[in-house]
Structure 1
Amino acid sequence: MKKDWKYIFYLGGAVMIYVAFNLLAPRQLDWRVTYYHKHKIPFGGYALNTLVHDQFSDRDIVQNNETLYELYDSVHTPMNLLIVASSFSPGDEEVQAMLGNVALGGHALLSVGSLYGKLSDTLGIDITNYFYEDGYNQYITDTKDSTYFRFSNAGLPDTAHYIYPRKNMGERISVTNDSLDVRVAAVNDLGMAVTVTIPWGKGRIILNSTPMIFTNAYILSGENHRFAATTLSYLPDNDLLWTEFYELGRMEAQTPLRYILTTPALRWAYFITILALLLFILFEAKRRQRTIPIIKPVANTTLEFVRTIGDLYYQHGDHKDIAEKLITYWLEHVRTRYWLSTTKLDDAFTEALIRKSGKPADDVRALVNVVRLIQSRPDVALDRLIDLNDRIEKFNLS
């Protein structure tokens, strides 16, 4: 058990060193653009979340990651809608659900960096980046250049200029449908529209092309929170639906365990089970058994036996006996493979062996003649024995 505690101590020390390095290491800023209402990173939406709850403090605020169709499926009264996203392209059913609620008297504030699809076609409005248009592309090379926004609505007393870095505020709104009473609410320093209001039925759509104004970095910069707050004030004092689906998606766990992880009781049971298993492995699952001896496999002594017998015959010098055994082995091979009788090694046997074996006729006749000669002699010379062995091996291998 002392050895176990030693390894646990080493592991704990390594974990503590790793944690210390992570705590003491300089933190890198997360520059992702999320607009997420819980993110405190520069381009998160934590400050916007605070601003929204301040302005609609007496109203119900529903925050989720559902589509417009799902949001309005159970809503039949006019409500406010807030969407902040890098791009926005809802489907036909979603556009119908949103416009239907707006027509009844609802309001929708859409702050999106690009707009395309069904809603863009219906409203006759495009959002483009003027950095890539002729006459304006020089601005993209100057990363320190600043722009300002101001409200152009005559009904607003706010005439201040709100300064922003131009590199993050290059989108503008273009109106292609003259049939709608589109009113410009705010413009940039080049006179381009960045916020417009569009009446629709009894309600109104507020469209903003610079969603970065709602991020932590710019709401908390100087007086810029006033520009974001004034833009929000175009929404009347009513209940608010705020969906982050169009920037973040569902934000659901993709694992098959998502049902367990999204249910508090099951999630706690799952984590407790994992912790119990880890503790069991750590303290109780030590492998305890005696060392298994290594048993060497039985050696194959067949070759050693054959070599020993061969040495005995060779040392004894009985070449005739060795030749007879070679002949016996060869004749057995002929009987079992070619189905020939080896009782008489005459010419008929020789011709039959030539036909069935397909061996060269001269080699077969020479081998049969050597066998006959050895069988007729009482003694066999060493060179004759070697010749017999060579001919048999040639016959078997050819």
Structure 2
Amino acid sequence: MNKTFKLYGVIFIIVVAVLALLELTKSDVTDWRKNFDVNEKSPFGLYVFSKEANHLLNDKVKRTDISPYDFYKTQKLKPHNILIIQSQIDSESWNKILQNVENGSDALIISDSFNRKIADSLGFSPSRISYEDSNLLLLTDEKFVQDSLKVDKLPSGKGFELILETDEILGKEASDSKMANFIKVKHGKGHLYLHSEPLILTNYYLLKPGNEKYVQDVFSYLPDRETVWFSGANKNVAESQSPLRFILSKHALRYAWWLLLGGLLLFIIFNAKRKQRIVPIIEAKKNKSVEFVKSIGNLYLQEGDFHDMMAKKAQYFLNHVRMDLLIDTKDLDEKFIHLLHLKTGKSIEEITEATALIKKGQDPYASVMQADLIKMNKLLDEILQ
């Protein structure tokens, strides 16, 4: 083993040892981002709710990853429930949701932000409830008065004000009794249930004892029927489309990937020496004209385009007569036949037959057979000899 490979081995062992030491000594960092992802087990993911959704809604949940607009463009459902959790809904999707609610469906939308245009059309105004570090959420129905939920980690502090008299307040925040955080809005034959604190459905709060009662109370307002959950809309953070997104999402695979790239870089650096370039062998150029002509001939033969071959052969023959024999080929009449007979010495009958075949090849509507092509080719070759 030469010194270069020994150096590679030493550097590789050192890098691996450093990475292993960093991996063993690192501490887990809790991700407190509000991702609202149904596959995330972080505090503010929806993994627990996703697992319990079927039980909560009596096994009548239909999940979809597409937008409400695309879903209702192809689906025609009888009155049903609509569930949307913390998503930015485009105006066309909102129109589809409102159309279904107007026809008798009910929609439960849990989000800390509502489109201003939608809020104005429904007659309420989004607002901030308080600036406290924690909010105690209460329900106004007397049978739910004992069920509350305390939001003590990054509360949104959002609510509703200036609601219509026909709307019903279903929930408030304890420190601000004038501001609602859960309202019921009548729209056509159905209702919209709007809740301004989506954190109530995250892993952190659902795993706290007693909080599940508050969530059950919120969902109890939905009728016992099929619920369409637009779960794909919960991914507010754009997902990387990189082919390496799985590798980079796992710590061990990510370290292995960087180690591989580092090893390749070191190999390139230490191996970048000037080397004798291989002298290429230059072969003599071959005359492939005959092969080309044969290929073209085979192509015409396979295609069976005998008419086009006759026309080209006739054109070549007449050009030769004009240039070498100095005979005008504009009119292929008796004068032309007589002059060609005098200059080539061929018989009148042979030239007359060849002329007839030339005219046939020049006629775009003539029916040409393979025998005609062979016969004309033979006659013209004999005349030019």
TM superposition score normalised by structure 1 = 0.55
The separation in 2 between residues aligned to 1:291 and 1:252, in whole angstroms, is 44
Contact 2:140 2:170 in 1 (8 A): yes
Pair 1:229 & 2:216 matched: yes
- Residue number in structure 1 paired with 2:56: 55
C-alpha change, 1:246 and 1:50, in structure 2 (3 Å) is closer
**RMSD in angstroms over aligned alpha carbons?**
3.6
Partner of 2:46: 45
Q: Distance in 2 between matches of 1:69 and 1:250?
A: 20
Does the residue aligned with 2:230 lie in a helix, a strand or coil? strand
Distance 2:75 2:207 in 1: 34
The amino acid of 1:73's aligned partner reads: K
The amino acid across from 1:218 in the alignment is Y
- Note if contact 1:81-1:107 (Cα within 8 Å) is conserved in structure 2: yes
In the alignment, is residue 27 of structure 1 matched against residue 12 of structure 2?
Answer: no
Q: 1:188 aligns with which of 150, 173, 178?
A: 173
Contact 1:84 1:111 (8 Å CA) reproduced: yes
Structure 1 gaps of 5+ residues are 132-139, 262-274, 293-398
After superposition, residues 222-261 of structure 1 pair within 5 angstroms as 222-236=209-223, 237-245=225-233, 248=236, 251=239, 253=241, 255=242
- The answer to whether the aligner puts 1:129 opposite 2:128 as a matched pair is yes
Asked whether the 8 Å contact 1:60–1:240 carries over to 2, the reply is yes
Instruction: Give 1:109's aligned residue.
Output: 108
CA contact (8 A) 1:105 1:201 kept: yes
CA deviations on 1:253-304 (whole Å, 9 max, x unpaired) are 1x5x69xx9xxxxxxxxxxxxx9xx99x98xxx7898679xxxxxxxxxxxx
Are the equivalent residues in 1 in contact too, given 2:110–2:197 (CA < 8 A)?
A: yes
Alpha-carbon distance between aligned partners in 2 of 1:164 and 1:288, rounded to the nearest angstrom = 64
Q: Offset at 1:222?
A: 2.9
Q: Distance in 1 between matches of 2:18 and 2:60?
A: 49
Shift of 1:157: 4.6
Q: Deviations over 1:354-376 (max 9, x none)?
A: xxxxxxxxxxxxxxxxxxxxxxx
Give the 5 Å matches for 1:308-387.
none
SS in 1 for 2:171: strand
Distance in 2 between residues matched to 1:53 and 1:13, nearest whole Å: 52
Cα distance between partner residues in 1 of 2:31 and 2:217? 28
Amino acid corresponding to residue 239 of structure 1 in structure 2: T
Q: Secondary structure at the match of 1:38?
A: coil
TM-aligned CA distance change 1:13 to 1:242, over 3 Å: farther
Rate the CA distance shift 1:7–1:80 in 2: closer, same or farther, 3 A.
farther
Percent identity of equivalent pairs? 21
What secondary structure, in the 3-state scheme, does the structure 2 residue paired with 1:29 have? coil
* Structure 2 CA distance for partners of 1:7 and 1:188, relative to 1, 3 Å: same
Supply the distance in 2 between the matched residues of 1:208 and 1:193 (Cα, whole angstroms): 9
Structure 1 residues 164 and 250: alpha-carbon distance in aligned structure 2, compared to 1, 3 A threshold: closer
5+ residue gaps, structure 2, are 247-259, 278-385
2:69 counterpart residue number = 69
Q: Which has the larger radius of gyration?
A: 1
SS in 2 for 1:108: strand
Q: Give the direction of change, closer, same or farther, for the CA distance of 1:239–1:210 in structure 2 (3 Å limit).
A: closer
Change (3 A) 1:23 1:201: farther
CA contact (8 A) 2:140 2:169 kept: yes
Is residue 80 from structure 1 mapped to residue 68 from structure 2 by the alignment? Answer: no
